[in-house]
C-alpha cells in the first residue's frame, strides 16, 4: 500500500506523483520478478502548505510526526479531512532548525 500525503491544495499533482511511483515500483518488481501492482490510498487528514515553496519542509514535518508517533498507523493518523488548516511559520522554523543542526553536526563539528 502506498499512502499519498499531498501538502498542496492542488490535487492534480497526485496523478503525476502516482505515475512516477508506479514506474519506480514496476522497475523494482521487474528486477525481482514480482507481478503485483501497487495500491494507492489518499490520506486527506494532513495539514497543507500555505505557499508554493514549503513542500520540502512539509515532507520533513510529516516524517517527523510519523517518526515521533509511538505506534504509527498512517490511516488512523491522517484520517479524515482537514480543510483550511496549514502549517504555521513556527512549525516550519522548528523543522529548519532541526535539519540545520543535523547537517551542521556532520559538516561543522
CA 27, CA 58: separation in Å to the nearest integer?
Answer: 28
- Reduced to 3 states, what is the DSSP secondary structure of residue 80? coil
Tell me: the pLDDT tens digits for 89-109?
Answer: 888 888 889 989 988 998 875
pTM for this predicted structure: 0.62
Per-residue pLDDT reduced to its tens digit, 54-63: 778 888 887 8
| Overall number of domains in the chain | 1
Write the CA distances from 77 to 11, 23, 46, 81, 98, integer angstroms. 20, 27, 9, 11, 23
Domain carrying residue 27: 2-107
Amino acid at each position: 500500500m502506498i499512502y499519498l500525503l499531498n501538502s498542496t491544495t492542488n490535487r492534480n499533482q497526485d496523478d503525476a506523483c502516482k505515475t512516477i511511483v508506479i514506474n519506480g515500483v514496476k522497475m523494482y518488481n521487474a528486477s525481482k520478478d514480482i507481478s503485483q501492482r501497487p495500491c494507492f490510498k489518499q490520506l486527506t487528514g494532513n495539514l497543507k502548505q500555505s505557499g508554493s515553496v514549503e513542500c520540502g519542509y512539509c515532507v520533513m514535518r510529516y516524517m517527523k510526526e510519523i517518526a515521533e508517533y509511538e505506534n504509527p498507523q498512517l490511516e488512523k493518523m491522517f484520517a479524515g479531512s482537514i480543510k483550511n488548516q496549514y502549517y504555521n511559520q513556527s512549525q516550519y522554523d522548528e523543522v529548519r532548525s532541526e535539519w540545520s543542526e543535523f547537517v551542521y553536526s556532520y559538516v561543522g563539528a
